[in-house]
Chain A
Amino acid sequence: EDQVTQSPEALRLQEGESSSLNCSYTVSGLRGLFWYRQDPGKGPEFLFTLYSAGEEKEKERLKATLTKKESFLHITAPKPEDSATYLCAVQAERNNDMRFGAGTRLTVKP
């Protein structure tokens, strides 16, 4: 069965303190791995798609990387507006199902 595990569950950073969020996955034939951001009371917002090991994507202070077993979301010099829950999801080659992790709740203090 496809599984996605995100760690840590919650992370508190000071503004400017860089860190990484982890997404470990098991899937039979990866079609893609996806990162989303979710603000309280809102629907998730798409950030990145990664398709193969070694691939990297960047957007502002965020960089996502992918290996055969896990993905990292690196946050460089975060700002308070980066506070949100970050979700990771995988999609298998065999179907259209998306399997999401439970998320990492990031708080950035000024």
Chain B
Amino acid sequence: DAGITQSPRHKVTETGTPVTLRCHQTENHRYMYWYRQDPGHGLRLIHYSYGVKDTDKGEVSDGYSVSRSKTEDFLLTLESATSSQTSVYFCAIGAGGEQFFGPGTRLTVL
């Protein structure tokens, strides 16, 4: 398995609070991605990074920001969480469409 970990694995928070999810990889891969997965919608790309300090928006980036200060870490921040951001969040690494996914973080916003 590709060395990808996500933390926390589960989180319950309240509307309006900031939340940061962490993705850590040991593969030294240049590209990293954040997705959310919701029933009926499949996986949707939030943001991705193509190098340290280089990031770009995906399909559903509103309400999310990311940072990558080291090759191995990619952080996803919800500045002020809303109930619509309740979802399972996956981090991935890889080039093109051949991506390797982490185990996911289940986030519940009450």
Chain A positions within 8 Å of B, measured between CB atoms, are 4, 31-34, 41-46, 49, 87, 89, 91, 96-103
Contact = CB atoms under 8 A, between A and B. Distances in A.
Interface in B55-110: 56, 58-59, 90, 92, 94, 96-104
A91 B97 contact: yes
B52 interface: no
Nearest to A47: B98
Contact of B103 (A32, A42, A101): A42
A41 to B, nearest CB: 8
Interface residues of B, number: 25
Interface centre among B48, B56, B96 (most CB of A within 10 A): B96
Nearest to B100: A46
Nearest to B48: A96
B50 A99 contact: no
B96 A91 contact: yes
Given A46-B94, A46-B98, 12 more contacts: A32-B96, A43-B92, A44-B99, A44-B101, A45-B101, A49-B98, A87-B43, A91-B96, A96-B96, A97-B45, A102-B41, A102-B42
A96 B100 contact: no
11 contacts: A32-B97, A34-B97, A42-B103, A43-B101, A45-B101, A46-B99, A87-B42, A89-B43, A96-B96, A98-B99, A100-B42
B44 interface: yes
B99 A103 contact: no
A101 B40 CA distance: 9
Contacts of B90: 43-44
A34 B101 CA distance: 14
Nearest to B90: A43
Nearest to B56: A96
B42 A103 contact: yes
Given A97-B45, A101-B42, A102-B42, A31 B96 contact: yes
B55 to A, nearest CB: 11
Contacts of B33: 98
